[in-house]
Amino acid sequence: MHQTSFCRYMFVEDVYGVDFHRILLEKLFSQNLLNGCRPAIYRFPSKKCNQSLSRKVRARLLDCSNWKIVFVLDSEYRDRDIASRDIIDHFNKEELKNMRLVVIHPMHEAWLCIGLGGKRNACRNNPIEEIMKITNRYYTKPELSRLVNRVNIRLLLSEQDFIEYIEVVKWLMA
């Protein structure tokens, strides 16, 4: 069996998150905040905190001799360390050396909201409500991947979880 040298994967929580991150990364590349090869972006192969998550991730790594993975997940208003347990509890210490997590507080929509020019505190406390005020329409989950084109990256550069995201993506591509 032929092994691929380098496998760089980003796993995100839902199908709309895949396009959200693809577009977000392209914005970061176009503004020279990132450079290098783009990682492959996939939806989590199962729900968080599910034993099949680790089995399905391991199956994706069968052809990889050198790999790194980033998981991007929502805190869902929980402490970062508690939210992280949904992923790290399913992998062993050796595997975790090649993995990083980015926990967005409280959810991806907070970045969308801030990037659209929403007030930071309102976006962190109730991002969906704030997005509806900004767009003047009802928010549905597909809007995550549709509205990301309007995000101003500069508005996110002072957000700690977004700064961490950029650093982790740099690690992923190194």
Helix (H/G/I), strand (E/B), else coil: 85: helix
What are the pLDDT digits (tens) for 4-33?
678 999 999 989 999 999 999 999 999 999
Higher pLDDT, 51 or 107: 107
Cα torsion at 124, 126, 130, 136 (round to 10°)? Answer: 150
Phi, psi of 119 (to 5 degrees): -70, 130
- Tell me the angle at which helices 108-115 and 127-135 cross, rounded to the nearest 10 degrees: 30
**Percentage above 90 pLDDT, the chain:** 87
Identify whether the C-beta of residue 72 lies closer than 8 Å to the C-beta of residue 85. Answer: no
pLDDT at 105 over 80: yes
What are the pLDDT digits (tens) for 49-83?
677 889 999 999 998 999 999 999 999 999 999 99
What is the overall mean pLDDT for the chain?
94
pLDDT of 4 reads 62
User: pTM score, two decimals?
Assistant: 0.94
Closest residue by Cα to residue 108 from 71, 68, 134, 69: 71
Structural domain boundaries in the chain: 7-173
How large is the average pLDDT for residues 170-174?
95
pLDDT of 83 reads 94
**59 token code pair:** 């199956």
